[in-house]
């Protein structure tokens, strides 16, 4: 929902305050980890994961949280991220 306005309106603020979101993420990968990061799987992915994420209004509140958690994950898991 996009809201465009020129004057602050408390009704719009209250609508945004009561908004929420729910998203589903699907990922495919491999059941077994390779011994080395330099190796490549010879078969198609054989494992699927489904995750549901939900939270408060997706604009100002949740966007900042999502970006922060993405950055933290990259920093904490950088040794597990394949580089090509």
SS (H, E, C) 9-68: CHHHHHHHHCCEEEEEEEEEECCCCCCCCCCCCCCCCCEEEEEEEEEECCCHHHHHHHHH
Task: Supply the pTM of this predicted model.
Answer: 0.52
Residue 38 lies in a domain: no
Residue 4 lies in a domain: no
Per-residue pLDDT of 20-73, as tens digits, reads 889 899 999 999 888 887 888 899 999 999 999 888 877 777 888 888 998 999
Residue 11 lies in a domain: no
Domain count, the chain: 1
CA dist 16 and 60 (Å) reads 10
Residue 1 lies in a domain: no
| Domain limits for position 52 | 16-30+45-84
Q: How many CB atoms are located within 10 Å of the residue 12 CB?
A: 13
Q: Which residue has the higher pLDDT, 40 or 17?
A: 40
Residue 10 lies in a domain: no
Res. 9: pLDDT tops 80: no
Residue 8 lies in a domain: no
Residue 70 lies in a domain: yes
């Amino acid at each position: 929902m996009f809201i465009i306005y020129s004057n602050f309106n408390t009704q719009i603020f209250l609508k945004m305050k009561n908004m929420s979101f729910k998203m589903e993420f699907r990922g495919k990968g491999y059941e077994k980890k390779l011994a080395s990061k330099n190796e490549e799987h010879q078969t198609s992915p054989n494992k699927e994961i489904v995750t549901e994420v939900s939270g408060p209004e997706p604009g100002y509140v949740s966007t900042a949280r999502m970006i922060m958690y993405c950055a933290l994950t990259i920093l904490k898991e950088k040794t597990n991220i394949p580089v090509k």
